Every structure is written in C-alpha cells, then in structure tokens.
Amino acid sequence: MIWSKAETLARGELEKLQNARLCETVARVWGNVPFYQKKFQELGIVPEDIKTIHDIVKLPFTKKQDLRDNYPFGMFAVAQDAVIRIHSSSGTTGKPTVVGYTRGDMDVWNEVMARVFSMSGVDSKDTVHNAYGYGLFTGGLGVHNGAETVGATIIPSSGGFTSRQLLLMKDFGATVLTSTPSFALHMAETALAEGYDLQKDFKLKCGIFGAEPTSKGLKEEVARVWGIKYYEIYGLSEIIGPGVSSSCDESCDLHIFEDHFYPEIIDPKTGQVLPYGQKGELVITSLTKQALPIIRYRTGDITSLDQTPCRCGRTHVRMKSVMGRADDMLIVNGVNVFPSQVEHVLANIDGITLNYQIIADKKGYLDSLEVMVEVTEEMPLDSIGALEKLQKDIQTTLLNNLYINARIKLVEPRSIERSMGKAVRVIDKRNL
Ligand code: DLL
C-alpha cells in the first residue's frame, strides 16, 4: 500500500516542491545557524542565489565533524523551547552527534516511517516486535512511532534479553520483526538452540531490517531461517533517523523520500557530483527539517541512485543497498577492503556462518589482516584435515575475488561476542 500521494508525484511536481523547500531551508539556515552563514559568506553566496534544486551544487557540504565542532546544539536553527526531542548517535570516536526535533519534525518522521511500514504491507492488523534499541539511538523510537502511525500493535522490546524476546514474540503473535539483520540472525540462532520451531512457533510474515551494512547472503539467510519477506530500511540520525529510504515489494533497492530528503552522489575524493547510476558517496539535504536543517550532508555511505520507474508506482529515486562506508573502508597493504564484500564472499562458502570479524593489525611495516569466522554446528572441529582445507578455501576465495591476503581463523559456533545493537565487524588495531 502507498501511504502518501507525495510518493507518486510526477517528476515535474516533485521538482517544484523541492525547489520551494530548498529555498525555505536555505533561508532558515542563513537566518538562524551562524555555522552556515559563515560558510555561505566564505563561498560568496546569499540565499537569493539559490532558486531551484539544481543550484544545490553551489552550496557547501556538511560533515559529521561540523556537528561535533558545534556540540551539542550549535547547529540548531530553533530556540530550545521549540525542540521536543533529542537523539544522539553512538559516538565511537570523539563526541556524539546530537540531533533535535520540533513537533513538525516529529510529524515528518512519523509520516516517513508510516510510508516504510506501508511499503512492507504492515497495517493495523499487524503486531510489530521492535528489537531496535530504545534510547538516544534513533532506531527504537523512530520505528516505534511509525508503527503506531499505521495503527499496528507495537511491542517495544528494544535490544538484549534474547530468550525473553523470543518468548514474547511467540506468545504475542508478532507478525513483523524490526531489528538489525545481525540481531535477527542471533535471535534465530538462539531460538533454534532453545528448541523452537521457527516456522511453527512464530507468526512472522516479514521483517524490516537496517542500520548496518549487510551482504545479499546475510539478507537471504535472515529471510530463509525465519521464512519471512526481508524489507530493508535505511537512515541516519543527522537526516532524521530511520526512514530516509526503504525497499518496496518490487525492488530490493530503496526509495528515498525525496520530498523531504534530496539525494546526490559525489566522488568522495573530489566532491564532484556524479551522474545517476554511478557509485559514490551519498549526500543528503533535508528539505523540511526545522530544528536541525542540514545542507549537503556527507553520509559517508557508498551507493548509487536509479531514477528509472519502479513497478510499485512510487516515483521517488531508488538507492542501492549501502555497499560500504567512504570512511570505514579498510586499506590493507594498498588494497581497498569493504567489510560487506568480505561478507559477500563468506556467504558463499559452506561450513562457516556469517558470524565473523575482520581484524586489521601491523606486522612489522606491513599491514596484516585476519578474518575470524565461526564454523557451523555440523563442522567436525576435531578433524584437523577438514579445518585446514576449509581455511585454505576461504583464503583462496578471498584472494581471488577481492585480492586480499588474509589469515583465516576458524572458531567454534557462538564464540564471537554478540552485540545487541550493531554487529562489530571490523577491529582496526593499527590506529590504537
Ligand atoms: O542507524 C538509523 C537507523 C535505525 C536506520 C534503524 C535503520 C534502522 P545512525 O546510528 O545515525 O542511524 O547510523 C547511520 O548507519 O550512515 C549507515 O552507515 C548505517 N546504516 C543505516 N541503515 C543502513 C542500511 C541509524 N540499511 C549509519 N544498510 C548510516 C547499511 C545502514 N547501512
């Protein structure tokens, strides 16, 4: 079901809306955010220079560091009494990024999240088990409000306590699971170990998964073990949280809600805008945000855009699933390594699971890379010959496909520490 008429606007109509909304956004930041006023002045731009969405290329980029430099509320465009919600992204390095919402922003967030649920066929007859973390992370509450907006019954279980979550999911008859894909697999693994029958004991029909880069293989595995349809959701705190884009029934690419978020793809090195179809860094401008309007935000996410019509009837441009981060791409002895590509390779090898970690380190002057991966329950751990063969196979496949030379460490099932939120896939010891 299509939630809003805005999702099917003809291109011309959509562009008119984007033109008007970009001009409003530029005026808002010029008048209220000293950071942008200074940036515009440095570039010699005044709001009158921006007349249509195509003028966006004249505007400066915003980076995560800019939000950190203006921590906590320096980038807000409204007074504190207009802000009704604060979230913040988990800062693994440095200060966290703080984002704020007015009541109007919350309405937009609920609206785009309602579109996501409708895209997945979720309505008031459904029960949504929401295992995204509640709290400062935008996942839990963002998804929560969207489910309520479409009238579904929401179970706000948050992350952790896997056994209890399984019990509630079964007893409450959840039809939809919302979580990170890695946590969905962890739930399946725990359920099987506890003797559940995933198809008979649960009523799940679909899941809406996102928040971390995920290979096709891992997505297929989640869909297969649970016997459900896999929908993907993408978003980031700086733009709104979950609900920037999501996949529909016709395509596994994700429609970006372009009436609120204007996307561009740039070359991450030069900043030059790339044409549709080319792979590069996704840059997003918020078109309606009030508390924290954001101009040309460099998401760091690598993807490409596709404007060809989608059979679902939505006119909004589609992005490919995130292929990696412009900034967490590992360079190992001169070779670029995307964790998602390693995962893709692992997904096609028998005898191992998709619970893995990539560990980069230094060996003398050279980089070293280790891929630690759990074997399946069926793998005979006492058969040295079988393990050695498997190790060699993985190593050769990684070398042949990705040109990376990694040491492979096979470990027992369930021995890699599980994260209740985003899986920790990369440990880079070189910068410590
Ligand atoms: O992860 C928002 C979210 C919550 C999205 C729940 C989907 C579901 P942040 O913590 O600010 O926000 O992290 C944003 O997570 O720039 C991407 O690198 C990554 N990310 C989000 N969704 C996807 C996805 C939330 N579907 C960062 N695939 C983004 C790959 C994703 N990466």
**CATH code, domain carrying 335:** 3.30.300.30
Distance 244 CA to ligand 1 centre (A): 10
According to the per-residue pLDDT averaged within each range, which of 33-47, 93-107, 356-370 is highest?
33-47
pLDDT of residue 188: 94
Q: Is the pTM of the predicted complex or chain greater than 0.85? A: yes
* Domain encompassing residue 421: 330-428
Asked which of 299, 327, 355 is the last residue of a domain, the reply is 327
What average pLDDT does the segment 75-84 reach? 98
pLDDT at 336 over 80: no
Name the percent of the chain lying above pLDDT 90.
80
Residues 71 and 160 in one domain: yes
Closest-lying ligand 1 atom to the alpha carbon of residue 300: 16
pLDDT in tens, 277-316: 999 999 999 999 999 999 999 999 999 999 999 999 999 9
Of 304, 358, 303, give the one whose Cα is nearest residue 335. 358
**Contact (CB, 8 A) for 281 and 296:** no
Q: Using most ligand atoms within 8 A of CB, pick from 99, 119, 236, 302 the residue to mutate for ligand 1.
A: 236
Residues 60 and 203 in one domain: yes
pLDDT at 415 over 50: yes
Residues 273 and 224 in one domain: yes
Asked which of 292, 307, 327 is the last residue of a domain, the reply is 327
pLDDT at 95 over 70: no
pLDDT of residue 364: 74
pLDDT at 93 over 50: no
Residues 226 and 270 in one domain: yes
Distance 235 CA to ligand 1 centre (A): 5
Closest-lying ligand 1 atom to the alpha carbon of residue 209: 8
Residues 301 and 386 in one domain: no
Closest-lying ligand 1 atom to the alpha carbon of residue 238: 11
pLDDT in tens, 156-179: 999 889 999 999 999 999 999 999
- Cβ partners under 8 Å of residue 92, min gap 6: none
Residues 411 and 263 in one domain: no
Strand partners, 266: 273, 281
CATH number at residue 224: 3.40.50.12780
Closest-lying ligand 1 atom to the alpha carbon of residue 213: 30
Residues 206 and 255 in one domain: yes
Of 45, 94, 47, give the one whose Cα is nearest residue 66. 94
pLDDT of residue 92: 38
Distance 209 CA to ligand 1 centre (A): 10
Q: How far is CA 123 from CA 57, 63, 175, 406, in A?
A: 39, 37, 11, 47
pLDDT band at 341 (very low <50, low <70, confident <90, very high): confident
What average pLDDT does the segment 372-392 reach? 92
Residues 302 and 358 in one domain: no
Number of domains in the chain: 2
What average pLDDT does the segment 192-216 reach? 94
What average pLDDT does the segment 326-347 reach? 80
Residues 188 and 82 in one domain: yes
Residues 83 and 223 in one domain: yes
pLDDT of residue 186: 87
pLDDT in tens, 236-290: 999 999 999 999 999 999 999 999 999 999 999 999 999 999 999 999 999 999 9
pLDDT of residue 328: 66
Residues 337 and 232 in one domain: no
C-alpha span between 184 and 222 (Å, rounded): 7
Residues 58 and 97 in one domain: yes
| Mean of all residue pLDDT scores within the chain | 93
Asked which of 301, 327, 353 is the last residue of a domain, the reply is 327
**Contact (CB, 8 A) for 176 and 204:** yes
pLDDT band at 91 (very low <50, low <70, confident <90, very high): very low
Q: Using most ligand atoms within 8 A of CB, pick from 177, 322, 328 the residue to mutate for ligand 1.
A: 322
What average pLDDT does the segment 184-205 reach? 95
